[in-house]
């Protein structure tokens, strides 16, 4: 499966989700590649912070030809995760066309809900050429036990994109893991953050 993690609004946690999803897939003995299609190179920075060998390769490919170039990798990997760019550009369109599934992280904020419209529009355009393309919202950086964390699901219902049951909360361990180039389950396998990522990946694989 090729999963593109995209939202035109910056700061929604695309890279955090991308690296942790990739790491969780790789931990289950899958062959996983993480492609950094963000010109800022955050996933590459994450990999560079790691001491020792990574459980999966991370390659930079911030090109608008990504959907054409990705064929070079599909035979060698079970899953490819694409950490997408933070703006609606030709590169974002290419990352959508490359994907089987577009995962749209949304923080529990009205600004994020409004900003999601542009990505949804791009996905609709892409379905003209790729009718089986799937897309899903995931609530990320949810503040535990707050009303806005619950209400965002109702706000997203206005879009023709399903919302995953699983969500990921705002937790310090994500920043701690990123600082040393690791996934959260590598630091604390039994933590709430690790369980949230596992539940998210399991639900994605059900699609």
Q: 173: which DSSP letter?
A: H
Q: What is the pLDDT of residues 131-158, one digit of tens each?
A: 999 999 999 988 776 665 567 777 887 7
User: Does 17 reside within a domain?
Assistant: yes
Contacts of 138 (CB under 8 A, 6+ apart): 17, 103, 104, 105, 106, 163, 164, 166, 167, 168, 200
Q: How far is CA 169 from CA 28, 104, 166, in A?
A: 23, 15, 10
User: Does 41 reside within a domain?
Assistant: yes
pLDDT band at 86 (very low <50, low <70, confident <90, very high): confident
User: Does 136 reside within a domain?
Assistant: yes
Contacts of 49 (CB under 8 A, 6+ apart): 178, 179, 180, 181
The answer to whether the beta carbons of residues 101 and 134 sit under 8 Å apart is: yes
User: Does 88 reside within a domain?
Assistant: yes
User: Does 205 reside within a domain?
Assistant: no
Bigger pLDDT: 8 or 196? Answer: 196
Using left for φ > 0, alpha for ψ between -120 and 50, and beta otherwise, residue 163 falls in: beta
Bigger pLDDT: 80 or 13? Answer: 80
Nearest residue to 7 via CA among 125, 90, 106, 77: 106
Q: What is the pLDDT of residues 174-203, one digit of tens each?
A: 999 999 999 999 999 999 999 999 999 999
CA angle (158 as vertex; 12, 120 as ends), nearest 5: 50
How many domains does the chain contain in total? 1
Instruction: Indicate which CATH number applies to the domain containing 155.
Output: 3.40.50.300
Q: What is the pLDDT of residues 109-136, one digit of tens each?
A: 878 888 888 889 999 999 999 999 999 9
Structural domain range at position 107: 2-199
For residues 127 and 87, give the distance between their C-alpha atoms in angstroms, rounded to a whole number: 20
User: Does 204 reside within a domain?
Assistant: no
User: Does 206 reside within a domain?
Assistant: no
Q: How far is CA 146 from CA 30, 137, 142, 150, 153, in A?
A: 36, 19, 8, 7, 13
User: Does 156 reside within a domain?
Assistant: yes
């Amino acid at each position: 499966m090729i999963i593109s993690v995209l939202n035109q609004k910056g700061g929604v946690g695309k890279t955090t989700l991308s690296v942790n999803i990739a790491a969780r897939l790789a931990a289950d003995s899958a062959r996983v590649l993480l492609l950094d299609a963000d010109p800022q190179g955050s996933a590459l920075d994450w990999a560079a912070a790691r001491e020792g060998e990574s459980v999966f390769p991370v390659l930079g490919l911030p090109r608008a030809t990504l959907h054409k170039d990705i064929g070079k990798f599909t035979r060698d990997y079970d899953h490819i995760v694409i950490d997408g760019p933070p703006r609606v550009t030709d590169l974002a369109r290419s990352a959508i066309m490359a994907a089987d599934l577009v995962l749209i992280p949304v923080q529990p904020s009205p600004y994020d809900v409004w900003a999601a419209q542009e990505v949804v529009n791009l996905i609709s355009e892409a379905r003209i050429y790729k009718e089986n393309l799937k897309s899903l919202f995931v609530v990320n950086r949810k503040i535990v036990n707050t009303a806005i964390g619950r209400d965002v699901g109702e706000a997203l219902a206005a879009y023709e994109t399903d919302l995953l049951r699983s969500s990921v909360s705002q937790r310090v361990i994500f920043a701690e893991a990123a600082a040393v180039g690791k996934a959260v389950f590598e630091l604390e396998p039994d933590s709430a953050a690790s369980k949230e990522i596992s539940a998210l990946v399991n639900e994605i694989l059900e699609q």
